[in-house]
A = this chain, B = another copy of it.
Amino acid sequence: MAEAQRRPTLMDVAKAAGVSRALVSIVMRGAPGAAESTRARVLEAARELGYRPDSRARLLRSARTRLLGLSFSTSQPFHAEIVDAAYAGAAERGYEIALSAVASGRPETRAAEALLDMGCEALILISPTLGSEELAGFSRRAPVVSLLRDDVGDDVDSVSSDDHAGIRLAVEHLAALGHRRIAHVDGGEAVSAAQRRVAFRAEMLRRGLEPIVVPGGPTEEDGLRACALLPDNPPSAVVAFNDRTALGVIEGLRTAGLRVPSDVSVVGYDDSQFARLSYVQLTSVSQDAPLLATAAVDRAVDRLAGAEAPAHLVRTPHLVVRNTTAPAPAD
């Protein structure tokens, strides 16, 4: 159908209810200044006509748009979890979320600019790939919060997960199960791979254990390949860079005739969908998307409220124990 039937405006409702445009506006946004009786009458007229406020006009006119811009990447399943939680967090603080995706022919700059053009008061960028100076450029127009990445310069807020703490949790868990020979299949050049590698070394040394670090990468292939590089006398546990890396490692161990977790325990990182799959049930370090999302929203809202300087918030991850870790075999 979709006839060219003009959608009703404030004016239409005003006429129907026999009041002024301004009063309908007051009623529609629940502002004080209308008698209860007329309020009801206006609301009824609006319902009758099927009136819905036009967000373009509303956004254009009002000083505060109460709109938070959120950019995410279509290629990262983890981002979707954050988007989900961000909606709830924003609603709780009385804000709306405007989405903009980083897609194939659509670079991050474009996504961020679109959000600004829509009238967003602040920007939340999920693991931005932009440089500090570019981010600083955006931050001159609106407060910017970098989510999942913290090396973004001093003009931009950041909310990220404590990699050191995450790795410590993993090692702690394995050590408590009696493991002494623990290897780390690292993330190679991937984002935050260096931090996790350093954290692993530090944590192992702190416990008087020898840190075995094997070069890996962020994908299953990398994990698979890394298995070939494990010492002949294999470790009894592996901390993988990533859940995907962990899956590759598990596959590699399996084909080498080792059983997980009875022979070798494996810990992943991210607690992604993979990890939760019933036939995987991977023990993994969770960055907790909802927690990060609400922290980022809160930070953005606070920046809009007060005038505090940008800060770098770090959230502590937690360990989700499933079925790929078990007590060390009594060798």
Contacts and interface: CB of A to CB of B under 8 A. Distances in A.
Interface stretch (A37-45, A73-81, A174-182, A207-215): A73-81
Interface in A61-107: 74-75, 77, 80-81, 83-85, 87-88, 91, 99-101, 103-106
Instruction: State the oligomeric state as a number of copies.
Output: 2
A261 to B, nearest CB: 16
Nearest to A3: B140
A47 interface: no
Contacts of A278: 219-221, 224, 248
A106 to B, nearest CB: 5
Contact of A118 (B1, B55, B116): B55
A113 interface: yes
A141 B7 CA distance: 8
A103 B74 contact: no
Contacts of A141: 2, 7
A175 to B, nearest CB: 29
Nearest to A79: B80
A206 interface: no
Given A55-B114, A56-B56, A75-B80, A251 B224 contact: no
Interface in A187-201: none
A69 to B, nearest CB: 11
Given A143-B2, A278-B220, A87 B104 contact: yes
Interface residues of A, number: 57
A119 B74 contact: no
B118 A56 contact: yes
Given A99-B100, A119-B54, A279 B247 contact: yes
Contacts of A322: none
A83 B74 contact: yes
12 contacts: A1-B136, A2-B140, A2-B143, A52-B116, A56-B60, A56-B119, A75-B80, A87-B104, A87-B106, A221-B278, A248-B278, A251-B279
Q: Which 7 A-B pairs have the closest CB atoms?
A: A55-B117, A74-B84, A99-B99, A56-B60, A251-B279, A84-B103, A74-B80
Given A54-B60, A88-B104, 20 more contacts: A1-B139, A1-B155, A2-B141, A2-B142, A54-B119, A55-B114, A56-B59, A56-B117, A74-B80, A77-B273, A87-B103, A87-B104, A88-B103, A99-B99, A219-B278, A220-B277, A221-B278, A221-B279, A247-B277, A248-B278
